[in-house]
Amino acid sequence: MSQGASTRRDPHEFRELIREFSGEDIGCCIQCGKCTAGCPVAEDVPFMPNQVIQLIRMNDLETLLAAPTFWYCSSCQTCSTRCPLDIDIAAVMNTLRLLVIDQGHTPAETDVATVNKVFMRSLNAHGRVFELGVVMNKNIRTGHPFRDAGLGPAMFAKGKISIRPHNIEKKNRKRIRRMIANARRFSDRGQR
């Protein structure tokens, strides 16, 4: 693991940042490993969920943000429901993704970060996700404009995707935008 932790002034800086963003205090983790035991992606990532928690406690932001672990998290919540200390590990994983984007770090898994970004833009614009727009936008940004194009006709035929976005009611769209703006403002505070 990197020595980044030893060079930080406040040894709890990273943990506090996570607590402020997610509301989760991971200081009570007992490293029982129950979160990792149920995680469907644990075997395919460099740091398993309990190790992610430990890296946060070690204040080792550099090591953690350079690893793709949390980009592969599917937000299935298994870890959160298993934790005997009621730590919402899934929320911590999501917070780590937001931190990478909001603090201008280079994501270790750029395609997932791109999906995240275009997904949020779509939500902000329409109040709900316009699937075709998200896929096309993501494909263009990642340099694979025709990826999964073969699936399109069958999905159109079954009504699974539409060629036009469906906006939700205007007043609810405004509420969604307000929520996103508030979340951004909150994350901006974490950078100060």
Which residues of the chain form contacts with ligand SF4 (CB under 6 A)? 29-35, 38-41, 49-50, 53, 73-79, 82-85, 87, 89-90, 93
> Which residue in the block uniquely carries the two structure tokens 């405004």?
174
Closest CA to 46 of 32, 59, 36, 31: 36
Cα distances (Å, whole numbers) of residue 11 to 25, 52, 87, 127, 151: 15, 16, 21, 40, 49
Which residue number, 53 or 58, has a Cβ lying nearer to ligand SF4? 53
Q: How far is the CB of 96 from ligand SF4 (least distance, A)?
A: 10
Q: How far is the CB of 106 from ligand SF4 (least distance, A)?
A: 22
Tokens of 172: 């609810």
Which residue number, 33 or 165, has a Cβ lying nearer to ligand SF4? 33
Q: How far is the CB of 163 from ligand SF4 (least distance, A)?
A: 32
Contact between residue 79 and residue 89 where contact means Cβ atoms under 8 Å apart: yes
Which residue number, 34 or 138, has a Cβ lying nearer to ligand SF4? 34
* DSSP calls for 118-163: HHHHHHHHHSS--HHHHHHHHHHHTT-TTTTGGGHHHHHHTTSS-S
Which residue number, 92 or 130, has a Cβ lying nearer to ligand SF4? 92
Contacts of 40 (CB under 8 A, 6+ apart): 74, 76, 78
Which residue number, 85 or 181, has a Cβ lying nearer to ligand SF4? 85
Q: How far is the CB of 7 from ligand SF4 (least distance, A)?
A: 26
Q: How far is the CB of 14 from ligand SF4 (least distance, A)?
A: 15
